[in-house]
Every structure is written in structure tokens, then in C-alpha cells.
Amino acid sequence: MSLQVYAHRGYSAVAPENTMAAFQRAVDAGAHGIELDLHLTKDDEVVVIHDETVGRTTDGKGRVRELTLDELRQLDAGSWFGEEFKGEKIPLLSEVLTLVAEKGLLVNIELKNNKIAYANLESKVITMLQEYDLVHRTVISSFDHYSLRKVKELCPDVDTAILYMANLFEPWEYARKVGVTSIHPYRPTVVESMVAKCREYNLPVRPFTINQVKEMRRLIGLGVDALITDKVEQAFTELNRGE
């Protein structure tokens, strides 16, 4: 399989992150897949937002877990990025999966449960993936590796990926022990020997977040399986250079 481009929080270089506008622009730019982040609301709805709080990416305040869906949907998630995006809402996961299914996208779902222990987040996500027939087009990632074990128990067929920041000793062995099927390392930890070893173990390597041209070229040269990037069109420019 040729290298894939995942739009990090949607095409977040040109639209407000984790909004339907950003996901649609990823589609328009030809991204193979989108990456998104999940939290649970006060009334246990699965919503797409990166932070535990709403202040950075909306005109509101407070923790996602302490606000109902109705309260969250009243917030403007676009104006902070640009006036043309005024009125963008925090999406439900179901809304994004509808787009993914319609457009034939891949999707990388990050469970943001490493700071807040969301009960049943894993089962809610798996149920939705099954309803939309997207299990085989999804990779579920998390910094909470216990959560990934739970995901695999619920749905052995779904691709799962450990997220990590610091250098991990023999990540291919660690991945096998955890039971995941891919790795999503922080970009500086990716070196030639690691990529080669992961290939021996049949572990796709999808580093994050790749926005600098020099780093795109380095990682493409190492033969990683995907780039997770804010800059979708730049990534394709670099991919096309190598052809």
C-alpha cells in the first residue's frame, strides 16, 4: 500500500480543527483519511473535540464532561479561526462517520481518555463503527494503552495504535504485548531501524504531526505508512516529488 495522508483534526491548516468544515476540506484536498479526537458530554454523547475544555476552540468556557450536548451545540467553534467559519458547531461522532461513510474515507479516531476515565467510551465508539460498517476503515488510537486493550476485546477486527511521545524501547515488542496492530509515534522518535523492525512485525507506522517539509521528506524516505498532518496539500506535493 502506498503512503497515506491523514488530515490531522481535519484539514486544520485551512479550517477550524475538528469541525465539519475541516473534514470537508480534507475530502476536497484528496486526503485518504481524517484524524479526530473524542470526548463524552455530561449526558454521555460522543463529541469531536481535542481539548478537555472548550475555551481554546469555541466562544465558551468549561469542561466538555460538565456540559450537555445542547449546551455544547450553542457554542461557536469556528469564529476563532476566521469569520467565514462563524457558526461552526462541535460535531457529534455520528455526523463525522456519516461523511466518512459517504466519501469512502479512512478514519483515525483518538480516544481522549488518558486524562479523564470515560466509562464506556470504547463500547460506544465500537457500536457506532459497526452501525456505519466502518470497522475495517478505522484505526483507533490512544495514549491510554489499557483502553486499546479494551477496544480489542470488544472488537478484535478493528485496527488499534499506541500513541507515544518519548522514545519507546522496542516499540514493536511493546505493541505485540499490548495487542495493538499499528503504532503512532511522535515524529522525532521515528528512525530507519525502527521502521524496518516494525515492518518485520507487520506494524504500520503512522507518525504525528508532520507539518514541516523537511520532516515530510525524511519520513517519506524512511518508508512510513502514513503522514498525519495539518497540511494536506503540502504532504501531497512532497509525495508527488518522489514519484
Q: Which residues are known to be catalytic?
A: 8, 50
How is the chain classified by DSSP, letter by letter? ---EEEEETTTTTTS-TTSHHHHHHHHHTT-SEEEEEEEE-TT--EEE-SSSBSTTTSS--SBGGGS-HHHHHTS-SSTTT-GGGTT--PPBHHHHHHHHHHHT-EEEEEE--SSS--TTHHHHHHHHHHHTT-GGGEEEEES-HHHHHHHHHH-TTSEEEEEESS--SSHHHHHHHHT-SEEEEBGGG--HHHHHHHHHTT--B--B---SHHHHHHHHHHT-SEEEES-HHHHHHHHHHT-
Give the residue from 223, 178, 217, 215 showing the smallest Cα distance to 197: 223
Contact 52, 126 (CB under 8 A): no
Q: What residues pair up with 48 in beta bridges, in sequence order?
A: 38
How far apart, in whole angstroms, are the C-alpha atoms of residue 50 and residue 82?
A: 19
